[in-house]
């Protein structure tokens, strides 16, 4: 059975563009409930650890620089079929390929600076949520 939580970040580009509010609205209007949330700032070390699975990819350095370039919003979200439904809501990694009505279509500017993160599996949703939140911060 599909798990009912996913993990998201509103990335530094979207925070700089003052789009935290509208992006959170799209998430809650799509039926996601906020279980945990914090406004924080990754440094190169923590951004590097979070994205360690991409260490061998050519864009890893750029990704770490970007994700540590300003504050982010991190959150755990709840909904039936959360991981899959949230990936649909955020749209393709590259905003040029994202469907109308998706968060990345509306707010992302490039394949790197793409406004939001969404977990790609139930297993990663748990790992990523645990990276940011302890059990006193999840409701």
Catalytic residues: 117
Among 2, 31, 40, 59, binds ligand GDP (CB under 6 A): 59
- Range in contact with ligand GDP (rule: CB under 6 A) among 42-50, 57-65, 75-83, 126-134: 57-65
- Alpha carbon distances (Å) from 72 to 15, 76, 93, 100, 131: 6, 13, 18, 24, 14
Kindly write out the interface string for residues 96-115 of this chain, putting x where it contacts ligand GDP by CB under 6 A and - elsewhere: ---------------xx-x-
Interaction between residue 127 and ligand GDP (CB under 6 A): no
CB of 22 to ligand GDP, least distance (A): 19
- What residue is closest to ligand GDP based on CB? 112
CB of 102 to ligand GDP, least distance (A): 11
CB of 62 to ligand GDP, least distance (A): 4
Nearer to ligand GDP by C-beta: 120 or 122?
Answer: 120
Q: How big is the chain by its Cα radius of gyration, in Å?
A: 14
Among 62, 65, 97, 137, binds ligand GDP (CB under 6 A): 62
- Alpha carbon distances (Å) from 4 to 23, 30, 33, 48, 123: 20, 14, 10, 27, 11
């Amino acid at each position: 059975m599909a798990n009912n939580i996913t993990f998201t970040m509103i990335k530094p580009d979207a925070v700089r563009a003052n789009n935290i509010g509208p992006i959170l609205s799209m998430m809650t209007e799509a039926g996601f409930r906020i279980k945990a949330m914090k406004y924080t700032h990754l440094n190169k070390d923590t951004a590097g650890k979070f994205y360690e699975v991409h260490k061998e990819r050519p864009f890893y350095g750029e990704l770490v620089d970007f994700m540590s370039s300003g504050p982010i919003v991190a959150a755990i979200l709840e909904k039936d079929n959360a991981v899959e439904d949230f990936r649909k809501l955020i749209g393709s990694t590259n905003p040029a390929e994202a469907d109308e009505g998706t968060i990345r279509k509306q707010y992302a500017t490039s394949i790197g600076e793409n406004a939001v993160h969404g977990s790609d599996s139930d297993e990663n949703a748990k790992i990523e949520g645990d990276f940011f939140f302890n059990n006193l911060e999840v409701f």
